[in-house]
Structure 1
Amino acid sequence: MVTSHVLTWEVTASQGYETAWTEFSGTTLQARGRAVGTRPEVYWISYHLDTGDDFVTRELQVRAATSTGSHELHLLHDGAGRWTADGEPLPEVDGALDCDLGLCPLTNTMPVLRHGLHLGPGERDFLMAWVSVPDLTVHASEQSYTHLRRSGSGARIRFVSGDFRSDLEFDAEGLVTDYPGLAHRMSGNAGRP
């Protein structure tokens, strides 16, 4: 069964907005999104995300446009733990299962769903292939997610990366509704299977 959503966030960290069109099928996710921001500079982003089973990233394609021009990133995960960016190996992120597109609340979903952190107790540490926006450089990022409690129809989960920490709100389907310091969801319409 395929479930579709159209989600829009106000991205306060960039003074902009993002809309993502998502399709979930079993434990896979396909998404395409558009974002516009004015910090750290005026930019436009478009992306396509594809995961394999268990929400493990297979591919992220991103295009960024700024006042100095446009550029693209093609990030691939081979399923065996190795990554490439535009065909070049990225040994610093080998072993990571997920990408994390900067300023994009959607990419917090994959590790949460994989480990059911929106459903009950748990704490997990991750290595992520983090993509900086708008320059699209890829960096290794150590992150942790900790289920704090159920809240309403979702859950509150603590996100930590380095010195940064934020308690995120997720809905019952594992999608971010509020990411203090980064974004809050303005709308989210579930499609019909």
Structure 2
Amino acid sequence: MTFSPPPKTAAWRHLDAQTGFEVVYFRPLGDWHRIEGCTTGLEEGRTWIVEYAIDVDADWLTRRAEVTGRSAAGSRRTTLEGDGDGHWRMDGVPAPHLDGCFDVDLESSAMTNAFPVHRMRLAVGAASEAPAAYVRSLNLSVERLEQHYARVDRESYDYVSPADGFSCRLVYDQAGFVLDYPGIAVRAL
């Protein structure tokens, strides 16, 4: 599976789960990529802003994620570092609860669903588990999120998050970025 190069920028509008917007910029770092973005949300009467800078290597393994969040409760910041073998450090401290994860998934972001799709490069009909280091929007807590991706056709994947019983069909563009995340976000640019 070959993807076209990332666009210079992309944007998503949040849907039913929350009201808000996400804007992302992609920068090459040699054969790596830096993804810088900001997402805002209004959810159950609470507002938040999450800013991030995520570095992925040539195989789209997340190597570093710097995440800053702001809400009425104040500001928070966390840094995740992956070694490429499924081991993580969170704010410089080993995070064994994330062992076996290769991707960062931000609760506030539709863009981060590109990481496992790029990394796994599944053939049509293939499926795989894709556990991720999951960063919550309001408090930036980090937990392990079990996920399952099954490639349906050229642009569609069936997605399942067993812990919360969520499933949907994700639609991607030729660059491997979400166009439609039912109930969560839709690509605006």
Task: Determine if the TM-score, normalized by the shorter chain, exceeds 0.5.
Answer: yes
Describe the SS at the equivalent of 1:55.
coil
Aligned position for 1:53:
58
1:73 aligned partner, one-letter code: T
Q: Could you tell me which of 62, 68, 74 is aligned with 2:73?
A: 68
Contact 1:3 1:25 in 2 (8 A): no
The percent of aligned pairs where both chains have the same amino acid is 31
Q: Could you tell me which of 40, 48, 69 is aligned with 1:36?
A: 40
**Unaligned segments of structure 2, at least 5 residues:** none
Aligned position for 1:8:
11
Aligned position for 1:77:
82
Runs of 4 or more, structure 1, over 6 Å off, are none
Aligned position for 2:159:
159
Q: CA distance change for structure 1 residues 24 and 110 in 2, over 3 Å: closer, same or farther? A: farther
Contact 1:64 1:71 in 2 (8 A): yes
For the pair 1:186 / 2:168, whether they are aligned, the reply is no
Map Cα deviations across residues 18-70 of structure 1 (whole Å, 9 max, x no partner).
Answer: 00001357863310001111114201111000011210000010111111111
Describe the SS at the equivalent of 1:111.
helix
1:140 aligned partner, one-letter code: R
Contact 1:42 1:67 in 2 (8 A): yes
Q: What is the TM-score of this pair, normalised by structure 2?
A: 0.89
Describe the SS at the equivalent of 2:114.
helix
Map Cα deviations across residues 146-192 of structure 1 (whole Å, 9 max, x no partner).
Answer: 11123xxxx111110111101011001111001001100011xxxxx
Contact 1:14 1:103 in 2 (8 A): no
Aligned position for 2:25:
21
Map Cα deviations across residues 108-150 of structure 1 (whole Å, 9 max, x no partner).
Answer: 1111112223x63321112211111121111111101111123
Q: Could you tell me which of 118, 123, 127 is aligned with 1:123?
A: 127
